[in-house]
Amino acid sequence: MSTPETNAGPATPPKASRRGPATPFAPPPERNPLDRRVHAAIARATASVSPIALLLATVDWAGHLAVSPGKRMELADLGLEQGRRLLRYAQAIASSPPGSPAHDCIEPPAQDRRFKAPEWHTWPFNLMHQSFLLAQEWWDAATHGVAGVSRHHEQVVSFAARQLLDMFSPGNFLPTNPVVLRHTLASGGINLARGAVHALEDLGRTLTGAPPAGAENFVVGRDVAVTPGKVVLRNGLIELIQYAPTTATVHPEPVLIVPAWIMKYYILDLSPHNSLVKYLVSQGHTVFCISWKNPGVDERDLDMDDYLELGFHAALEAINAIVPGQKVHATGYCLGGTLLAIAAAAMERDGDDRLATMTLFTAQTDFTEPGELALFIDESEVSLLEAQMAETGFLTAGQMAGAFQILRSNDLLWSRIVGEYLMGERAPMSDLMAWNADATRMPARMHGQYLRRLFLNDDLSEGRYPVGGKPVSLSDIDVPVFCVATQTDHVAPWRSVYKLHYLTPTEITFVLTSGGHNAGIVSEPGHPRREYQIQTRPAGDNYVPPDDWVRRSPRYEGSWWPAWSTWLAARSSAPATPPALGAPERGYPTLEDAPGRYVHEK
């Protein structure tokens, strides 16, 4: 591992002092070098999607469908009924006066905006898109409810069928998209020429590793991540940033933010108008935030224990030295929240009471229903990933981005192709989009452990996840918890996040906010069309199922940020004089201005 300038100081003990005995994690058996090379080659050729996993899912589905005559009869009946609906629709079109729309025979799903334009209700495009939606409905029925098919295989086959259908949507092609055709005729084909230029430019940027067009307007440290602060700790894995106060007094208990290491930390410090860090500072909180190193080959052997030790614990010990005698409001985002939950459980087990509260943003602690991301996580997929990472030493940023793009192909792939390459219109770059393109890598060993321990084995929720050689239990956590989930999260579905309610009896204030995994968190006051529900379950109270929680919880317009700030303030002491930046006398001098070095690593 590389050894950049550090100031671990006296508060950072040797790694072995906290780890205890070796972690009882059984890695996958050492595979034959030839097998590993073949598996890595397969992973490169298939974008890390296991063809064996797809084949097994298809055989499971097709085999059980073959021996289910009743299901096949149902599908045949559905096909005939759809044919009759489409025929009646075609007859209504033919008999209606020109320009008079016929009543659709099928409505698109609420989240499907591909056919909203009025041009889609003119002949022959109305017949095209209605036929497509009927085919989509039939395949959805065909891939669900086949007796005997495992749930995972059902999800894989359904997802694959949806992806293939989306690929051939009439909206993706010039001759069958009336909106693009109208625009092409009106502009004399200029849109196609612009689209070709955009495609060539994007291809060049991809080949050279350059950021997407427009990202140059959001430079880290100039346009985003500009909240004033100092780096007060740097080790081989993190920089810790302490932000400068902007109020005369602050709540004595500081806030520590633990972002996920699959992302750059500055999603929480975007532009000044939507920076959660800046907002917290303005509300009188002393804020510290971890900035993770972007790992390379030298960091290939970092594991989950390193992220706990060199990450969370190193940061906590620095804060204890800079703000002595105060408990900490610990906050974790996504995977950083999972790490925080592990740390909090271990601290409670060991009698460590340095945390005042715990806040989790879109963080899962039970991985039995992790959403569509689980489609890419089974033994076959993980085996291919491990073989590929054994050669590179890390999971590339492109692999992670590609997985998320496939999960939201309509929003992130096909709509972009239509808009930028057929319509010739560049979508304006936003700070959130520029941040999303500034992706990071993950060390091979850590990522393998993370996938196996949490996703495949669900060790954390089942009380098997070890810290310091002994398992931890989330039921030990007794600090108040503020837990935020988002309605349309494709990474951490809100019902999965909600499962924390039956894993720990502590007080939980749960927030369900509009938006997705990232946009729902970057939800500053004044942001249009934002709403949230919030309710507190007292410690030891009865479990309420998630759907009942939705029915019972009050709904509010606007941002959930003020509710969180109020919650933190209610669990903090009376405001006092702000602490100094850093503590040189205790081994934590200020090293440089925020945002530091690690955030710039590519």
Query: Mind telling me the catalytic residues?
Result: 334
Q: How far apart are CA 210 and CA 219, in angstroms?
A: 13
Helix ranges (DSSP H) in 30-68: 33-45, 51-66
Any bridge partners for residue 330, and if so which?
A: 256, 358
164 burial type by CB count under 10 A (0-12 exposed, 13-18 middle, 19+ buried): exposed
Q: Which of 371, 375, 404 is nearest to 50 (CA)?
A: 375
Q: What is the largest CA-CA distance in the chain?
A: 87
Q: Which of 63, 50, 31 is nearest to 146 (CA)?
A: 63
User: In angstroms, how far is CA 314 from the centroid of its own chain?
Assistant: 25
Q: Which of 167, 174, 74 is nearest to 421 (CA)?
A: 174
Q: Is 106 helix (H, G, I), strand (E, B) or coil?
A: coil
Using CA atoms, how far residue 34 sits from 29, 31, 38, 297, 351, in Å, is: 14, 8, 6, 21, 48
User: 383 is written with which tokens?
Assistant: 């085996």
CB–CB of 257/281 below 8 Å?
A: no
Q: Which residue has the tokens 């209700």?
A: 121
Using CA atoms, how far residue 403 sits from 140, 376, 400, in Å, is: 22, 8, 5
Q: How far apart are CA 122 and CA 451, in angstroms?
A: 49
Residue 571: CB atoms within 10 A of its CB come to 17
Dihedral angle at the C-alpha atoms of 319, 321, 325, 330, nearest 10 degrees?
Answer: 10
CB–CB of 325/449 below 8 Å?
A: no
User: 375 is written with which tokens?
Assistant: 């489609």
Q: Which residue has the tokens 């939800």?
A: 523
Sequence-separated (6 or more) residues with CB below 8 Å from residue 242 = 229, 230, 232, 286, 287, 288, 322, 581, 582, 590
Q: How far apart are CA 400 and CA 414, in angstroms?
A: 18
SS3 content of the chain, % helix, strand, coil (to 5): 50, 15, 40
Q: What is the DSSP string of 556-594?
A: EES-SHHHHHHHHHHTS---BPPPPS-BGGGTB---EET
233-253 as b/e: b if 16+ CB within 10 A = bbbbbbbbbbbebeeeebbbb
Q: Which of 575, 574, 567 is nearest to 507 (CA)?
A: 567
Q: How far apart are CA 505 and CA 348, in angstroms?
A: 13
Write a three-state SS string for 354-406. CEEEEEEECCCCCCCCCHHHHHHCCHHHHHHHHHHHHHHCEECHHHHHHHHHH
The number of C-alpha atoms within 13 Å of 507 and in the hemisphere containing its C-beta is 12
Sequence-separated (6 or more) residues with CB below 8 Å from residue 203 = none
